[in-house]
Structure 1
Amino acid sequence: MTAGTADKKATDHLWMHFTRMSTFDDHPVPVIERGEGAYIWDSNGKKYMDALSGLFVVQAGHGRTEIAQAMAEQAGKLAFFPVWAHAHPAAIELAERMAALAPGDLNKIFFSSGGGESVETAWKVAKQYFKLIGKPMKHKVISRTIAYHGTTQGALSITGVPPFKQVFEPLVPGTARVPNTNFYRAPEFVAHDEKVFGRWAADRVEEAILQEGPDTVAAVFVEPVQNAGGCFPPPPGYFERLREICDTYDVLLVSDEVICAYGRLGTMFGAEKYGYQPDIITSAKGLTSGYSPLGAAIISDRIYEPFGKGDTIFPHGYTFGGHPVSCAAALKNLEIFEREDLLGNVSRNENAFRSTLEKLLDLPIVGDVRGDGYFYGIELVKDKNTRESFDAGDSERILRGFVSPTLFEHGLYCRADDRGDPVVQVAPPLICGQAEFDEMEQILRDVLTEAWKLV
């Protein structure tokens, strides 16, 4: 298939996700044909750095033939069988491996096909759990503003990004929003100290629980580092206080780690990075490094306990959850993690990554650089002194109209996003080091320097 043929067929038949399809009325569809390590190539042979790991997914890098081989071997032996009242060796082995890696008593693995399904699973587990233990009114979920948790009807209801929700409303009732942990945009009265801000933000969760009624709130869903809005890390003490609040009101703490698990922050799970114990972890993406779709809700023994009694079942599942080929990919991926010490690579290099990106703070358009591990957001501003953000017209003209396409033209695949304030996000494969950091910084510097002329 030639580049021109691929573009035509894509325009005629492929409905791309989260995409303005009219863009391709007068522009060709970018077609990515292959990848190797931290790089991808399009159908014209042009090389790009994959500074987003596909979509926060390709932890071990592209072109890992040993993962493909493990998948082929599994498909030749058993290509598919559901984990509905049956099991197969790949799912058993992977569940055991994940339980050993997960913190605390998170020993029960419920497989899904992806992140949104994992979130959906966690909410349904929470609802039924409280019914089983005699607290049937506890069904509501509290999450944070601008937080993204998925596109299924339940996960979208938990999501705090209004433009993603409005066209699909009414959604599932029973959700409430609290402030996120964006210290750069903290209210003035707590903006002087991160720890004070963290306590204030966590206390808003308690306030929401009391407002909704503790007897009605089942769970709090939070990401270790919030993605939407541009990589908000937790302030010191935030998760310690949040765990305390959840324990006080018998509310489950769900750590949504669809992005933050499997090495993105330098630990296997984001909860380990910040020293808190969740009741459930939701995950996907990096579990297989994207070589095959797979997600999982990782559930504590305490929460599972009433489900394992008598004639109780959890009436929920997915045809492709725990798919044998996907489980084989995940097992080989985790083997690579261990053999090549990918977590150690992130831990050893995360400060260098941060300091390299922070060089961009000398640009007048860069207001903030924030994140953790290999997961960063660069916030763009009109005025560094006042922290004035872009308005809708600026975002359209500068972020979408110039920054996003120009970064790609310069050979950097990353993400320009304005679900909150305008940011550029970078999250490279976990195999990267200083050479890749420098390449990212240079391309970002060149493009953002030009973008400032448009402000």
Structure 2
Amino acid sequence: MTSPNPTLDGVTDHYSADEPVHEGRSGNAADHLWMHFTRMSGYADKPVPTIERGEGAYIWDTNGKKYLDALSGLFVVQAGHGRAELAEAMAAQARKLAFFPIWSYAHPAAVELADRLAAEAPGDLNKVFFSSGGGESVETAWKVAKQYFKLTGRPGKYKVISRAIAYHGTTQGALSITGVPPFKAPFEPLVPGSHRVPNTNFYRAPDLVSHDEKVFGRWAADRIEEAILAEGPDTVAAVFVEPVQNAGGCFPPPPGYFERVREICDQYDVLLVSDEVICAYGRLGTMFGAQKYGYQPDIITSAKGLTSGYSPLGAAIISDRIFEPFGKGDTVFPHGYTFGGHPVSCAVALANLDLFEREDLLGNVQRNENAFRTTLEKLLDLPIVGDVRGDGYFYGVELVKDKNTKETFDAAESERILRGYVSGALYENGLYCRADDRGDPVVQVAPMLTSGQEVFDQIEQTLRHVLTEAWKLV
């Protein structure tokens, strides 16, 4: 199992032994910095790739080498690196009010941002609960669902349904909803009540439904109903789904899928939570992924692109119907985060949304998404590329051992080819993206929303070169 880091363990040493060490610092970042999702032994005797600045679509390491940031940091930097207006908005807010909690108090930036998100969100999603990030937003949504059903006289409804290989976060609740077993095993037992159904990977659809995407979509959605009935409708509180599933390599929904999921949730009085930590704020060319596919969630969880990564912020956006019992009498939602709705983060989010409008970033994605898809689909002529899938500016390229049979790599081959070569080679060739095998081996790309054909071509050309060399290792 590879790390979900864009650059996997064991990347080639990019640093010179002669590089000066600043006084008071060690020679290797890994001496004291415990990096996230990282095989730390890989840096026991080699320096850690270290990025020190960014501008537009590009980043530079401490040796001055330039890379195309083809993952927007981590599906985050929608507006690009080095946007002075975002930094200035943060500084102005910090000078005025650097911090105040939103525990029984408010501050203007949080009020204005909540108003703005409520206006942008579909339907009656009018209540905004701020957090520090995506996993916290998911944790919030599950807690809201549990307490909602207790407040409305159905305390037995606490379970959740999510999809295989789906990633929803690392807090104990969000991790329980996550469908990636190796991430969960070290921390079990987790929060009880989370159950898995098939995802929407049409490339790996069962033979019975592999002939037609719409038929497959109905089949996949019906597995949710099957799981609700198996657990008992009186015990299931919510279904958590991403508009385009990230882990496994960008699975878009088949036609009719979300329409059927909404019907099922309504039939059994189950909340539909759209986890849009990646898909919201323009990644698919719409403000929210639910708008892209025309379905109405009860809760949207979000983070990442809300601030273009300039400051941490997450938001769970909740329907008036779900909020209604929380607004009565002495009821309290006993949940919150010190830095949720941080004034500086809210200020930069507002400036970021202003930038979205001023530069028409959603329109840029809509105008160019077909060109991006077409450019990436050129890679299908390579023997190692089995599938290219995704939507908007969010794509996965699946690698296979045999295109005719769709045979994938075994664990040892994935270790040797994906981690041992592809990840490091992409980085060495100036492309920062993600090589991952949560599920089948994929390379994921998610350029900034400002990107156009020049960026698409650079992504395709670098992928072509590296994957052509990788095939020789097969």
TM tier, shorter chain? Answer: over 0.9
Query: What's the counterpart of residue 324 of structure 1?
Result: 343
Query: What's the counterpart of residue 376 of structure 1?
Result: 395
Query: What's the counterpart of residue 161 of structure 1?
Result: 180
**Residue in structure 1 matching 2:84, options 50, 61, 65:** 65
**Residue in structure 2 matching 1:228, options 228, 244, 247:** 247
Query: What's the counterpart of residue 204 of structure 1?
Result: 223
Contact preservation (8 Å) 1:364, 1:452: yes
Query: What's the counterpart of residue 359 of structure 1?
Result: 378
Contact preservation (8 Å) 1:225, 1:371: yes
Note the C-alpha offset of 1:200.
0.1
Contact preservation (8 Å) 2:161, 2:195: yes
**Residue in structure 1 matching 2:98, options 67, 79, 85:** 79
**Residue in structure 1 matching 2:334, options 311, 315, 318:** 315
1:447 and 2:466 aligned: yes
**Residue in structure 2 matching 1:92, options 111, 123, 130:** 111
The residue type paired with residue 58 of structure 2 is Y
State the Cα deviation string for residues 347-400 of structure 1 (Å, max 9, x = none): 000000000000000000000000000000000000000000010001100000
Query: What's the counterpart of residue 215 of structure 1?
Result: 234
Residue-pair matches, total: 454
Note the C-alpha offset of 1:12.
1.0
Note the C-alpha offset of 1:10.
1.1
Contact preservation (8 Å) 1:7, 1:28: no
CA 1:107/1:3 → structure 2, altered by over 3 Å: closer, same or farther?
Answer: farther
Query: What's the counterpart of residue 347 of structure 1?
Result: 366
1:264 and 2:289 aligned: no
CA distance in 1, matches of 2:26, 2:301: 36
Note the C-alpha offset of 1:7.
7.3
1:305 and 2:328 aligned: no
Contact preservation (8 Å) 1:282, 1:296: yes
Contact preservation (8 Å) 1:7, 1:30: no
CA distance in 1, matches of 2:426, 2:27: 24
Contact preservation (8 Å) 1:365, 1:452: yes
Note the C-alpha offset of 1:28.
1.7
Secondary structure of 1:8's counterpart equals: coil
CA distance in 1, matches of 2:264, 2:102: 36
Contact preservation (8 Å) 2:28, 2:48: no
Contact preservation (8 Å) 1:254, 1:279: yes
Note the C-alpha offset of 1:327.
0.2
Query: What's the counterpart of residue 247 of structure 1?
Result: 266
The answer to which of 9-18 and 181-190 deviates more is 9-18
CA distance in 1, matches of 2:158, 2:230: 14
State the Cα deviation string for residues 41-100 of structure 1 (Å, max 9, x = none): 000000000000000000000000110000000000000000000000000000001000
Query: What's the counterpart of residue 415 of structure 1?
Result: 434
CA distance in 1, matches of 2:467, 2:26: 29
1:127 and 2:146 aligned: yes
Query: What's the counterpart of residue 37 of structure 1?
Result: 56
CA distance in 1, matches of 2:421, 2:136: 34
Note the C-alpha offset of 1:25.
2.0
Identical residues among aligned pairs (%)? 84
Secondary structure of 2:103's counterpart equals: coil
CA distance in 2, matches of 1:444, 1:133: 53
The residue type paired with residue 292 of structure 1 is S
1:191 and 2:210 aligned: yes
Query: What's the counterpart of residue 13 of structure 2?
Result: none
Secondary structure of 1:94's counterpart equals: helix
State the Cα deviation string for residues 269-320 of structure 1 (Å, max 9, x = none): 0000000000000000000000000000000000000000000000000000
Secondary structure of 1:397's counterpart equals: helix
CA distance in 2, matches of 1:348, 1:23: 42
Query: What's the counterpart of residue 132 of structure 2?
Result: 113
Secondary structure of 1:215's counterpart equals: helix
State the Cα deviation string for residues 162-206 of structure 1 (Å, max 9, x = none): 000001000000010000000000000000000000000000000
CA distance in 2, matches of 1:177, 1:97: 34
Q: Which runs of 5+ in 1 are unaligned?
A: none
CA distance in 1, matches of 2:48, 2:157: 47
CA distance in 2, matches of 1:450, 1:156: 36
Contact preservation (8 Å) 1:284, 1:294: yes
Contact preservation (8 Å) 1:415, 1:424: yes
Query: What's the counterpart of residue 14 of structure 2?
Result: none
The residue type paired with residue 304 of structure 2 is K
**Residue in structure 1 matching 2:34, options 15, 30, 46:** 15
CA distance in 2, matches of 1:335, 1:357: 30
CA distance in 1, matches of 2:194, 2:311: 32
The runs of at least 4 aligned residues of structure 1 exceeding 3 Å deviation read none
Contact preservation (8 Å) 1:140, 1:219: yes
The residue type paired with residue 262 of structure 2 is R
Query: What's the counterpart of residue 11 of structure 2?
Result: none
CA distance in 2, matches of 1:35, 1:16: 20
Give 1:391-402 correspondences, 5 Å limit.
391-402=410-421
CA distance in 2, matches of 1:311, 1:352: 54
CA distance in 2, matches of 1:396, 1:9: 25
Contact preservation (8 Å) 1:7, 1:29: no
Note the C-alpha offset of 1:27.
2.6
TM, length-normalised to structure 2: 0.95
The residue type paired with residue 52 of structure 1 is L
CA distance in 1, matches of 2:201, 2:245: 9
1:281 and 2:300 aligned: yes
State the Cα deviation string for residues 201-243 of structure 1 (Å, max 9, x = none): 0000000000000000000000000000000000000000000
**Residue in structure 2 matching 1:427, options 431, 446, 452:** 446
CA distance in 2, matches of 1:230, 1:354: 15
Query: What's the counterpart of residue 54 of structure 1?
Result: 73
Secondary structure of 2:234's counterpart equals: coil
Q: Which runs of 5+ in 2 are unaligned?
A: 1-17
Secondary structure of 2:464's counterpart equals: helix
Query: What's the counterpart of residue 6 of structure 2?
Result: none
